[in-house]
Amino acid sequence: MSEPTITTTSLRTALTMLAFTVIFTGLMAWTFSATKPAIDAAAQAEKMSLINQVLPLTAYDNALLDDFVEVGPTPLLGIDDAGRIYRARKGGAPAGLVIEAIAHDGYSGEIGLLVALRADGAVSGVRVIRHKETPGLGDYIDIRKDKRKDAPWITQFNGHGLRDVRESRWRLKKDGGRFDFVTGATISARAVTHAVARTLAYAAANRDKLYTAASGSRL
């Protein structure tokens, strides 16, 4: 085969590969743009389902997921990078906060939390949204794993805040505090309890700007 023929064949092969690459990239981009709205909608629905567990729908009348502030590294919330706080309002007045927080001192690492607070600063509800605690032992902090379905451990914070339980009492009974725990699995419960207490302290110290900052702004 002559050199010109080899060059022509190589050029055709390169152009064919380029065409396939362009077509494939285009198809991938089209697929992403076509499916992204559905993916985003599913993620929003999942988030709202979780929020509805800790903050009743009747407590607010605004578009909750559209009313939020971003926070940077925040030690009290256990956030090293960035987090989001949603603001609930009713008739335009503050009705609650939904705060993402992290406990770094779980038995098996980080414990991600969603903490909802009422307008008066008391806890509306708490949910563990991710963890690696020991199955059958420390994982009772997760309401889905707690065997006590009539009174799950995580619900004992509901209705309490820094007004009725002073900060020094936001501990396990074993540590001289107010809250129950399961014998033999105190580390997980202690981590969550302390994280909720820190979240309450953060919200109390920053209440005004949390509600008044422009939606989407970063504190």
> How confident is the model over 88-111, as pLDDT tens digits?
999 999 999 999 999 999 999 999
> Residue 118 sits in which domain range?
56-212
The pLDDT assigned to 21 comes to 78
The single residue listed with the structure tokens 């939904």 is 98
In a domain, 127, yes or no: yes
Contacting residues for 137 by C-beta, under 8 A, at least 6 apart: 184, 185
Q: Are 200 and 99 in contact (CB under 8 A)?
A: no
Q: Are residues 82 and 123 in the same domain?
A: yes
Q: Are residues 23 and 130 in the same domain?
A: no
Q: Are residues 50 and 63 in the same domain?
A: no
CB atoms within 10 A of CB 85: 26
Q: Are residues 112 and 81 in the same domain?
A: yes
Which of these ranges, 27-41, 74-88, 110-124, 202-216, has the smallest mean pLDDT? 27-41
pLDDT in tens, 10-40: 677 767 777 777 787 767 766 656 665 666 5
CB atoms within 10 A of CB 130: 12
What total number of domains does the chain contain?
2
Pick the last residue of a domain from 54, 80, 95: 54
d(CA 169, CA 197): 9
In a domain, 21, yes or no: yes
Q: Are residues 65 and 116 in the same domain?
A: yes
Q: Are residues 129 and 197 in the same domain?
A: yes
Q: 136 falls in which pLDDT band (50, 70, 90)?
A: confident
In a domain, 196, yes or no: yes
Q: What share of the chain is helix, strand, coil (3-state, %, to 5)?
A: 45, 20, 30
Q: Which amino acid is at 91?
A: G
In a domain, 219, yes or no: no
Q: Is the pTM of this model over 0.75?
A: yes
Q: Are residues 46 and 62 in the same domain?
A: no
Closest listed residue to residue 77, CA positions, set 51, 55, 97, 47: 97
SS3 annotation, 191-211: HHHHHHHHHHHHHHHHHHHHH
The pLDDT assigned to 41 comes to 56
With residue 97 as reference, give the H or E element that holds it: strand 93-106
Q: Are residues 97 and 167 in the same domain?
A: yes
Q: Are residues 93 and 118 in the same domain?
A: yes
In a domain, 99, yes or no: yes
Q: Are residues 10 and 20 in the same domain?
A: yes
The pLDDT assigned to 1 comes to 47
Q: Are residues 47 and 85 in the same domain?
A: no
Most confident of 43-52, 61-70, 132-141: 61-70
Q: Are residues 120 and 204 in the same domain?
A: yes
In a domain, 217, yes or no: no
For the chain, give me the number of helices (H) and strands (E)?
2, 5
In a domain, 218, yes or no: no
